[in-house]
């Protein structure tokens, strides 16, 4: 039996198609559900710094210099053990070619009490983790402060300096197997790198690695991170604490997508989230917040390519990004970028 096509049928289908097209067009131009602001452009300070391209390195500001320590090359080659410093992001000086730490993939790295510190981390190839604590005053000569910190061997914990102590938060004992046995949500602190106090064995936030921690508004904050393997399970929750023991969930879902391997800094009286990775690939977005709950996405016409496990610093009144595994195809790089937000820029909002 043949179907009879009438004028009414044609009109009905035309109406359906038109309505669907209009709805799709509306969806395509729908405004974002979060605040977005156009910002200044990033500046590529150095397209190819003299240090080997890498990711997952240690980094900090120490004695008015940018510092980069160790990092990851490939899963089958040893992790890097060199140390570099720069006063401007353009010219770099290597202070040591092979430091004695051994583990330098996803370590803790801090500047504290006129010394630089590196601890924990992973030795590549494999997943052997450390709880050794090393320190230096010049980046060339390193002292083993303790071969066995109070906390268990781990990689990729959160870490900060807060209330005149160094803090280590969570992490994982195994890069390739993240589960309830290997992931952690304990919190430790130390005033000297040798003696460590367990502040809380199970913080309020879920066990996680690859998160970011910062100090802001007289509180310690931890955000994002999660599980990487065997299946990526990233988060985008935000927590804070005034003492490292009692933790408050500020939001269980920030507007930035759940992610691992991102960077975070405090700049212009705001917390910032930069880049990162999830199962769908790298991120190249930039966000800021004054309270951890409401986040604004910063859009720049010129910016570094999407990447993860890059270094981020606040130095000379700018945000700096260096290295990382970037697009295309997670290529390691030795780029150095900076962004300056004018001091009165936020007042114009």
CATH number at residue 270: 2.120.10.80
Residue 303 lies in a domain: yes
Q: How many domains does the chain have?
A: 1
Q: Residues 323, 304: contact at Cβ < 8 Å?
A: no
pLDDT at residue 53 tops 50? yes
Residue 16 lies in a domain: no
pLDDT at residue 133 tops 60? yes
> What is the mean predicted confidence (pLDDT) over 271-282?
98
Residue 21 lies in a domain: no
Alpha carbon distance 273, 257 (integer Å): 11
pLDDT digits (tens, 9 = 90+) for 2-33: 333 444 444 444 444 445 444 444 445 566 78
The pLDDT value recorded for residue 32 is 74
Q: Residues 278, 258: contact at Cβ < 8 Å?
A: yes
Sign of CA dihedral 345, 347, 348, 349: positive
The pLDDT value recorded for residue 347 is 86
Residues 6+ positions from 204 with CB-CB distance below 8 Å: 239, 246, 247, 248, 249
Residue 30 lies in a domain: no
Token pair of 272 as six digits: 């910032």
Residue 32 lies in a domain: no
The pLDDT value recorded for residue 33 is 86
Residue 320 lies in a domain: yes
pLDDT digits (tens, 9 = 90+) for 141-194: 999 999 999 999 999 999 999 999 999 999 999 999 999 999 999 999 999 999
The pLDDT value recorded for residue 30 is 61
- Domain membership of residue 184 as a residue range: 37-348
pLDDT digits (tens, 9 = 90+) for 247-265: 999 999 999 999 999 999 9
Closest to 67 (Cα-Cα) out of 51, 79, 78, 53: 51
Alpha carbon distance 269, 174 (integer Å): 35
Quickly list DSSP for 24-73. HHHHHHPPPSS-EEE-PPPEEEESS-SSPPBBS-EEEE-SSSEEEEEEB-
Q: Residues 210, 156: contact at Cβ < 8 Å?
A: yes
Helix or strand (DSSP H, E) at 135: strand 133-136
pLDDT digits (tens, 9 = 90+) for 196-232: 999 999 999 999 999 999 999 999 999 999 999 999 9
């Amino acid at each position: 039996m043949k179907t009879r096509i009438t004028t009414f049928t044609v009109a009905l289908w035309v109406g359906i198609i038109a309505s669907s097209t209009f709805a799709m067009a509306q969806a395509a131009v729908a405004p974002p559900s979060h605040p977005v602001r156009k910002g200044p452009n990033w500046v590529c300070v150095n397209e190819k710094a003299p240090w080997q391209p890498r990711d997952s390195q240690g980094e900090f500001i120490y004695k008015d210099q940018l510092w980069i320590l160790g990092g990851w090359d490939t899963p089958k080659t040893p992790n890097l053990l060199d140390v570099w410093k720069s006063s401007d992001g353009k010219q770099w000086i290597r202070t040591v070619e092979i430091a004695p730490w051994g583990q330098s993939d996803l370590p803790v790295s801090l500047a504290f009490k006129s010394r630089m510190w590196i601890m924990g981390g992973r030795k590549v190839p494999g997943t052997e983790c450390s709880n050794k604590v090393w320190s230096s005053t010049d980046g060339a000569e390193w002292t083993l402060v303790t071969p066995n910190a109070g906390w268990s061997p781990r990689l990729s914990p959160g870490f900060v300096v807060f209330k005149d102590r160094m803090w280590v938060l969570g992490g994982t004992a195994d890069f390739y197997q993240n589960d309830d046995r290997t992931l952690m949500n304990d919190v430790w602190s130390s005033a000297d790198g040798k003696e460590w106090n367990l502040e809380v064995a199970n913080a309020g936030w879920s066990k996680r690695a690859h998160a970011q921690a910062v100090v802001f508004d007289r509180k310690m904050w931890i955000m994002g991170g999660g599980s990487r393997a065997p299946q990526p399970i990233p988060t985008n929750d935000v927590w804070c604490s005034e003492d490292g023991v009692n933790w408050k969930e500020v939001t269980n879902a920030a507007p930035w997508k759940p992610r691992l391997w991102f960077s975070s800094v405090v700049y212009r009286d705001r917390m910032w989230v930069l880049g990162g990775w999830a199962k769908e690939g790298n991120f190249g977005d930039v966000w800021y917040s004054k309270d951890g709950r409401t986040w604004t996405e910063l859009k720049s016409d010129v910016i570094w390519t999407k990447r993860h496990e890059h270094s981020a610093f606040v130095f000379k009144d700018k945000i700096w990004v260096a290295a990382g595994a970037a697009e295309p195809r997670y290529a390691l790089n030795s780029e150095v970028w900076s962004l300056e937000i004018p001091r009165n820029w936020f007042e114009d909002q």
